[in-house]
Amino acid sequence: MQSYALTVDKFLDHAAKWRGEREVVTAGGGRISYAALRERSNLLSGALAHLGLEFGDRLATLAWNTQHHLELYYATMGAGLVCHTLNPRLPPAQLAAMVNEAEDEVIAVAANLSPLLDEILPLCPGLRGVILMDGGEVGEGRPAVDTWTLEALLESHGRAVTWGDFAEETPAGLCYTSGTTGRPKGVLYTHRSNYLHTLRALQADAIALTGEDSLLVAVPMFHANGWGLPFAAPAVGAKLVLPGRQADGASLTELMRREGVTIAAGVQTVWLGVVEHLDATGGDLPDLKRVLIGGSSCPEALIRRLEDRLGARVQTSWGMTELSPVGVIAPPNAPAGAQRASGRPPMGLDLKLTGADGIALPQQRGVVGHLKVKGASVVDRYFKADADVLDEEGYFDTGDLARLDEAGNLTLCGRSKDLIKSGGEWINPADIEDIVGRHPQVVQAAVIARQHPRWGERPVLIVEALPGADLDPRELIDALRGQVADWQLPDLVIQVAAMPLAATGKIDKNRLRADYGTEGAAGDGARLGEPRPDDAPGS
């Protein structure tokens, strides 16, 4: 058989040749065909070579979901460079540390992120070039750094180059974890891993994207390959709709209506904003068929609300930066009762549950265990690490607790590090969050540990309610009675106006612990008293 390297440039080549007229649309007026985008991206590869970037060098991007960002994805990867996507919601010092560890030589920056760039540059002596995207202009103040606008660079030095003339194991992208479980760690994707991840995501029981779809990518392209959708859309020639920086409900609703979006992907807070906008203004989204959500577990009541108001099917999913990132996803036609699960693993990813000792549980269905994964798009070792992070069978420990039902549907049961040890016994916050999340007036729920002089730790329940709702703490506790042990009931219920979110859109439990994890911490709540002696943990 032919030797045909699995390199990601082939996705855009395919789209340009066979679906060349299909469009990539950016909010604010940008509109380009796949054929034209492929030509610009290839010329941009030649322009990057003019800047002195050579095979294997790394280019950082600090940008939103735009045409220019997509062009840089393919211009770097197609030429054998590494595209290092940075999260602009992180603090400058943290971004600079990533740039320095990655040894990035050039950084491409969205025009409206220039102030952030100016904070990063003094901390990154290895950066020798800046590309301003999305209409930016070269200004004063960066004399030590060669600065270009993307259009000027293309016009002056763009030239056609050969794409994909290297091994499929060549590194293609670099993304850092969110740091919610410690210091952010780099995950270096290869062309092969991205290619196989794309084929896995496109399966009929997964994202099931087709060339007739109009896909809105509201998940940031700087976060774990944008869920792989910048590869999946051109792979099938789907229309690709990019929202830029504007991810509010009003902006997304108008964009989705105008571009006839049939499938939309993003974290649940994005779709909550769309629903609230529709409730306030009326109207609907007649073309929308499916909404893909990931990030934090989505409460059942919120799923029902989204489906009822959007008139679309909600597909739940779970993934990690280390998985490229799709892990499991609910099939498009999954029974409604299965929606509380995150989904099933598409072909190409294997799962196993182990005990705390790392030994596989003899019974894999209907029990809670530590979730480990294995596959062609799963991390082997972190960027610049000395050793791999796999067990003796080649599985990666996700740090999650999970359960598999008899049909193979995965339900996350919380992070192992989030378990609360009270009186020598463990409390799983995810069990409480799942039950409270079913309350029709609860938007999001989180449970954290609070220090306690007698029991060591006690659970605190923090909830965000629907706009205008004033939740009764006793009602929430009553909903838990009989479903968890009395000694596991939270001592305190705190209602917040808005749940704090981490840079990836997930609930920021580190922030919640800082605000509410100690006696005398900020926030008001309804104190529900000490557990009775006969209800004490371990009794």
Which residues are catalytic, by number?
Answer: 177, 322, 421, 426
Separation CA 124–CA 104 (nearest Å):
9
CB crowding 96-118: b at 16 or more within 10 Å, else e: bbbbebbebbbbbbbbbbbebbe
* Coil/strand/helix, residue 462: strand
* Coil/strand/helix, residue 84: strand
Query: Do residues 377 and 200 make contact, with C-beta atoms less than 8 angstroms apart?
Result: yes
What are the CA-CA distances from residue 339 to residues 40, 66, 92, 313, 320 (Å)? 42, 32, 39, 10, 19
Amino acid at 318: W
Helix count and strand count (H, E) for the chain: 14, 25
| Strand runs labelled E in 387-491 | 396-404, 410-415, 420-422, 425-427, 442-452, 456-465
Separation CA 508–CA 178 (nearest Å):
11
Structure tokens at 243: 């929202």
Q: How many CB atoms lie within 10 A of CB 509?
A: 22
Q: Which residue has tokens 């794309």?
A: 198
Separation CA 329–CA 489 (nearest Å):
31
Amino acid at 21: E
Helix H segments across 134-225? 150-157, 191-201
Structure tokens at 313: 């099917």
Amino acid at 122: P
Give the side-chain half-sphere CA count within 13 A for 131: 27
Structure tokens at 42: 């290839």
Q: Which residues contact 137 (CB under 8 A, 6 or more apart)?
A: 111, 149
What are the CA-CA distances from residue 259 to residues 216, 263, 402, 421 (Å)? 9, 11, 38, 50
Determine the distance from the C-alpha atom of residue 152 to the mean position of all C-alpha atoms in its chain, rounded to a whole number.
33
